[in-house]
Amino acid sequence: MVGMDGMIRWDDTGSMTGMIRHENLGLVELVKNPEIQGRLYEEIKSVVAGEEAKEIEEEEAHKMPYLKAVVLEGLRRHPPGRFVLPHSVTEDTVLGGYKVPKRGTVNFMVAEIGRDPAVWDEPMAFKPERFMGEEEPVDITGNRGIKMMPFGAGRRICPGIGLAMLHLEYYLANMVKSLSGRKSKVTKLT
């Protein structure tokens, strides 16, 4: 079982800072969208029925498809890192209509890839349902096309992607389980 204290040991992309930034923004999305938070809470309650005091475990998190969809939508909207490592081109080339000279540096804005209106319907809306019931699920590894890349892509993908997804699901499920139903003094988030 992964403990909550494991979340405290990382630092920026592939790190605690990056993951906290992502999860805090994910939690803000849930506060801004109480119907999504409510649906997630109901899924959590249905899986851990009658065991309110215990932490959600890995096996239980794997039984929550809406939880996974909420995490994926959070990663699409708020990836843990904004950029990937810069790359240099080996010869003069044209990329997106721009001439890039040999040894020129190219960088990708990861957050913008997940917000491309040519790929995503209503890209700025927080809609976890886009990750449910699809014929072919969105591939976040970059092996079948890149629609989002919160952990990089291809052979340079973050080697901790499996552990990161487990931690994100575990953290979010336990936070929502612990905090849902509490009254908030916040009346409006922008």
Separate counts of helices (H) and strands (E) for the chain: 6, 4
87 forms beta bridges with: 106
Q: Which residues are annotated as a binding site?
A: 158
133 forms beta bridges with: none
Which stretches within 82-187 are classed as H helix? 110-113, 161-179
Q: Are 68 and 129 in contact (CB under 8 A)?
A: no
Q: Nearest 5°: phi and psi at 9?
A: -105, 5
Q: Which residues are annotated as a binding site for heme?
A: 158
Burial, 88: exposed, middle or buried (Cβ in 10 Å; 0-12, 13-18, 19+)? Answer: exposed
